Amino acid sequence: MKGYDVAIVGATGLVGQEFIKVLEQRNFPMNSIRLLASDRSAGRKLRVNGEEVEVKETSIDSFENVEVALFSAGAEISNYFAPIAARAGAVVVDNSAAFRMDTQVPLVVPEVNPADIKEHKGIIANPNCSTIQMVVALYPLHQVNPIKRVIVDTYQSVSGTGSAALEELSEQARLVLEGRSVVPHVYPHQIAFNLLPEIDVFLDNAYTKEEWKCVEETRKIMHANEIAISATCVRVPIFVSHSEAIHIEFSQPMSPDTARRTLAEAPGIKVLDDPNISLYPQPWSVAGSDEVFVGRIRQDASHSCGLVMWVVADNLRKGAALNAVQIAETMVDRGWI
């Protein structure tokens, strides 16, 4: 198989390091790998396939001869460097929000809309972490029984904010257990032993930007502008993995057993659902896994055409790095790169 010259922008961050692990574990065909980051991280060395690779500062000359560029450095960096990388000949898979709602940029979850990849013009957007796991679970059901409405409540780990948030949770938990006061820095309030119904900024409609991403991105990925969606996104004191309680209204009634069978046969999903033995997905146990886990599938007592389910996934893997690498793998497998 042909090997590819790969670059990772934001290589020293949580998602950037996850990119390296996923590329290694899935044996992505690479001739070379270029690790890029800010000037603060330049000079660091990271191990890739058993060898030390020096991190270079990202510049306008960083993408010469690069064929696949994986971005995880934030929207500002992506807005500037992604078009430069694309013009240099790389296919960019961008993990930021910079291009997700751009009509000229495909927004892709390979289990849902892989054909959209072919329409790229040099840049492909990786969706928001909470959106990815939701559409992986919704789409197989939508194919057999069109969805009319979704209400989702998310319980999102602090790793979605970055390494500083992980450190803040650890430090705050220690201080609280010692009976000492806490001064928040990353979040507007204490996160240890607390819940914050505020992820990203508040919009004029009183939803947060994170909540609105769930609405707009889901419709774009599933090509289903008619689905009514409402979201409440909550930051919880968990290190890794996002959880979601999803309430679905279908066009026709659907039994929980039918939903379980449909999801069990769908790609990228693992069903854990036996209340008799307290079997259901948990953020702690799914961390490090590739699949989207679904459980607590039950009839919605408030609607005859409704189901409720509990969905959990590792936000750094399927919610970010893995999904991006799967996009690159799809291009390789289908000869689109």
Give the three-state DSSP class for 84: helix
The string of DSSP letters for 230-263 reads EEEEEE-S-SS-EEEEEEEEESS---HHHHHHHH
Active-site residue 129, yes or no? Answer: yes
CA 214, CA 332: separation in Å to the nearest integer?
A: 29
For tokens 């609280």, the residue is 176
Of 129, 142, 214, 233, the active-site residue reads: 129
Of 120, 142, 233, 242, the active-site residue reads: 242
Furthest CA-CA distance within the chain: 60
Total residue count of the chain as it appears in this document: 337
Helices marked H in 150-301 — which ranges? Answer: 163-177, 209-222, 256-264, 283-286
145 and 326 Cβ atoms separated by less than 8 Å: no
Nearest of 224, 264, 227, 218 to residue 248 by alpha carbon: 227
- Helix %, strand %, coil % for the chain, to 5? 35, 25, 40
Catalytically active residues are 129, 242
